[in-house]
């Protein structure tokens, strides 16, 4: 019998560890371990926890159709999970435990600990490369080191992709496993105790068929317009597949294979841009593997740790609650708080505002996003926030500071998105929708004045960053 430990790879098809277990024949059992205390300390969003639980319900059915039992258990902390998996493997009399590798530093240490514990019992351990199309260490520069700038990484990635044959494997049926009586109580069922706060995620799909349908519909109907429409939050211009990628209900291989299927080079501009976004995800996964400090709250650029941050609680709360007085910022934050998702262009705008208008540590925003996003992914979230803070690998220059007024005027010119999330601005004319304080009838609005002056705070940011770099 072989035991597959599922983490953020909650799918049957194109699951490398599961396929490796199945290809050898014999019975296969899967297990998922919840770690609520660690989830709490890491800030797992309740809406993502709900999606994980709903996905486990569907995954249990999908595995069962292949004669594979899904076991479920809970231990308080992340550090306890490896020991529990080793214990289950012993009780199952498993000959092998298989996992798909994760690249954060503590995850790597956890898997090393599991390998050591299994070796004592003579149980084989196989750690598969699955999260990226190309594993960290397989895309390197001429000096044999990892890339620190995205564009050369992308070029090397695409060259390798051109020689790559996609093999998105369907899972095979296994020999039915006979569970020991002591293990039957761990069989997953919908009423299992899931000891973590949950927020309704039913606006997102949980079964594989619906998720794959969303991927195919995006490819068929939206992807070729992606480059032109992805920056406008009032229209459906993005894939909205990120929640499924975050929990592993969908793989990057499945996305890339669909994107390239039947296409000739060069790709359409829309396909090329979406492909670039998928490669950014891969880039950040490679970075956290090579730079362990990124898993420890450190800046990629050392001078970033010299930045002096403000700790204005009122400003932070105004940002969190969508009450800054800047409509595009506030609408974006209200979208996040209500839905657990935020449009990608808006993520950059609100991050820039928190960091470079309010001078609040990027880690505060990083944590708030993880606490609330249904698509929270550590590497992508950290990479995005450090990019905006100009402290990350290939981040935007520190003197490039988004103006929240002009960003709103450019990407929500009619104010449709703002009015959707800020009903108190419904009657403001388009001319004033992104600066309502200038509207002659502003006294009739129950909407706050700007909490800061962007022009003033821009100069403060330039000084703070120069001081940090010169320190």
pLDDT value at residue 169: 82
pLDDT value at residue 143: 94
The tokens describing 112, both together, are 């090393």
pLDDT value at residue 163: 81
What is the tens place of the pLDDT at every residue in 187-222?
999 889 899 999 999 999 999 999 999 999 999 999
What is the tens place of the pLDDT at every residue in 448-471?
999 999 999 999 999 999 999 998
pLDDT band at 167 (very low <50, low <70, confident <90, very high): confident
Q: How far apart are CA 341 and CA 373, in angstroms?
A: 6
Residue 443 predicted with pLDDT over 90 = no
pLDDT value at residue 257: 94
Q: Give 344's contacts (C-beta < 8 A, 6+ positions apart).
A: 230, 238
User: Is residue 416 helix, strand or coil?
Assistant: helix
* Phi, psi dihedrals of residue 291, rounded to the nearest 5°: -115, 90
pLDDT value at residue 168: 82
Mean pLDDT value across residues 83-102? 97
The tokens describing 52, both together, are 């994980």
Residue 108 predicted with pLDDT over 80 = yes
What is the tens place of the pLDDT at every residue in 272-322?
999 999 999 999 999 999 999 999 999 999 999 999 999 999 999 999 999
pLDDT value at residue 395: 87
Residues 340/372, Cβ–Cβ less than 8 Å: yes
pLDDT value at residue 344: 96
Residue 175 predicted with pLDDT over 90 = yes
Angle between helices 404-411 and 344-356 (to 10 degrees): 170
Alpha helices in 301-427 (DSSP H): 313-321, 327-339, 344-356, 362-372, 378-389, 404-411, 416-421
| CA 327 to the chain's CA centroid | 26
Looking up tokens 């992807």, which residue turns up?
223
Q: How far apart are CA 414 and CA 430, in angstroms?
A: 6
The partner residues of 34 in beta bridges, in order of sequence, read 74
Mean pLDDT value across residues 103-129? 96
Element (H, E) at 96: strand 96-100
Residue 86 predicted with pLDDT over 90 = yes
Report strand pairing: 2-6 vs 28-34.
parallel
Residue 343 predicted with pLDDT over 90 = yes
pLDDT value at residue 24: 83
Provide, for the chain, the percentages of residues in helix, strand and coil under a 3-state DSSP scheme, each rounded to the nearest 5: 55, 5, 40
Looking up tokens 């120069």, which residue turns up?
466
Q: How far apart are CA 212 and CA 58, in angstroms?
A: 14
The tokens describing 401, both together, are 């500071």
The tokens describing 56, both together, are 């486990």
DSSP single-letter state for residue 176: P
pLDDT value at residue 79: 86
Residues 248/9, Cβ–Cβ less than 8 Å: yes
Mean pLDDT value across residues 27-51? 97
pLDDT value at residue 358: 98
> What is the DSSP code string of 290-304?
H-GGGGGT--SSGGG
Residue 162 predicted with pLDDT over 90 = no
pLDDT band at 165 (very low <50, low <70, confident <90, very high): confident
Active site residues: 277, 280, 309, 344, 362, 385
Mean pLDDT value across residues 414-437? 97
- Is the whole model's pTM more than 0.75, yes or no? yes
Residue 443 or residue 4, greater confidence: 4
Range 344-374 burial, b when 16+ CB lie within 10 A, else e:
ebbbbbbbbbbbbbbbbbbbbbbbbbbbbbb
Q: How far apart are CA 369 and CA 174, in angstroms?
A: 40
Q: How far apart are CA 47 and CA 247, in angstroms?
A: 12
pLDDT value at residue 166: 76
Residue 251 predicted with pLDDT over 90 = yes
pLDDT band at 182 (very low <50, low <70, confident <90, very high): confident
Compute the mean pLDDT over every residue in the chain, rounded to the nearest whole number: 96
Q: How far apart are CA 73 and CA 81, in angstroms?
A: 9
Residue 58 predicted with pLDDT over 90 = yes
DSSP single-letter state for residue 97: E
DSSP single-letter state for residue 27: B
Residue 226 or residue 182, greater confidence: 226
């Amino acid at each position: 019998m072989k035991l597959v430990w599922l983490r953020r790879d909650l799918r049957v098809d194109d699951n490398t560890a599961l396929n490796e277990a199945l290809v050898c024949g014999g019975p296969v059992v899967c297990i998922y371990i919840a770690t609520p205390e660690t989830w709490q300390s890491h800030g797992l969003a309740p809406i993502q926890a709900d999606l994980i639980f709903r996905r486990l319900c569907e995954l249990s059915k999908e595995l069962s159709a292949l004669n594979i039992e899904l076991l479920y258990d809970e231990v308080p902390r992340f550090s306890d999970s490896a020991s529990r998996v080793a214990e289950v493997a012993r009780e199952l009399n498993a000959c092998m435990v298989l996992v798909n590798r994760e690249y954060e530093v503590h995850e790597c240490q956890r898997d090393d600990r599991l390998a050591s514990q299994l070796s004592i019992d003579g149980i084989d351990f196989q750690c598969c490369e699955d999260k990226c199309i190309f594993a960290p260490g397989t895309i390197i520069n001429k000096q044999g080191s990892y890339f620190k700038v995205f564009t050369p990484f992308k070029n090397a990635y695409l060259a390798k992709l051109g020689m790559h044959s996609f093999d998105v494997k369907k899972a095979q049926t296994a020999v039915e496993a006979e569970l020991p009586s002591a293990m039957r109580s761990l069989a997953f069922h919908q009423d299992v105790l899931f000891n973590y706060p949950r927020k309704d995620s039913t606006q997102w799909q949980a079964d594989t068929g619906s998720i794959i349908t969303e991927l195919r519909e995006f490819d068929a109907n939206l992807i070729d317009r992606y480059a032109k429409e992805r920056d406008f939050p009032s229209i459906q211009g993005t894939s909205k597949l990120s929640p499924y990628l975050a929990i592993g209900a969908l793989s990057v291989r499945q996305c890339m294979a669909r994107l390239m299927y039947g296409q000739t080079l060069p790709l359409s501009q829309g396909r090329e841009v979406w492909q670039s976004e998928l490669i950014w995800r891969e880039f950040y996964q490679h970075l956290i593997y090579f730079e362990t400090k990124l898993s420890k709250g450190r800046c990629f650029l050392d001078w970033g740790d010299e930045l002096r941050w403000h700790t204005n609680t009122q400003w932070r709360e105004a940002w969190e609650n969508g009450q800054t007085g800047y409509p595009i910022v506030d609408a974006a934050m209200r979208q996040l708080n209500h839905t657990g998702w935020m449009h990608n262009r808006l993520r950059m705008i609100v991050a820039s505002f928190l960091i470079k208008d309010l001078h609040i540590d990027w880690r505060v925003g990083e944590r708030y996003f993880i606490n609330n996003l249904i698509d929270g992914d550590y590497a992508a979230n950290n990479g995005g926030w450090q990019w905006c803070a100009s402290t990350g690998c290939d981040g935007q220059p520190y003197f490039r500071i988004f103006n929240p007024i002009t960003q709103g005027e450019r990407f929500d010119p009619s104010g449709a998105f703002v009015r959707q999330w800020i009903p108190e601005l419904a009657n403001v004319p388009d001319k004033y929708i992104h600066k309502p304080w200038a509207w002659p009838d502003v006294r009739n609005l129950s909407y706050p004045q700007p909490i800061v002056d962007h022009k003033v705070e821009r100069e403060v940011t330039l000084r703070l960053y120069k001081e940090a770099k010169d320190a």
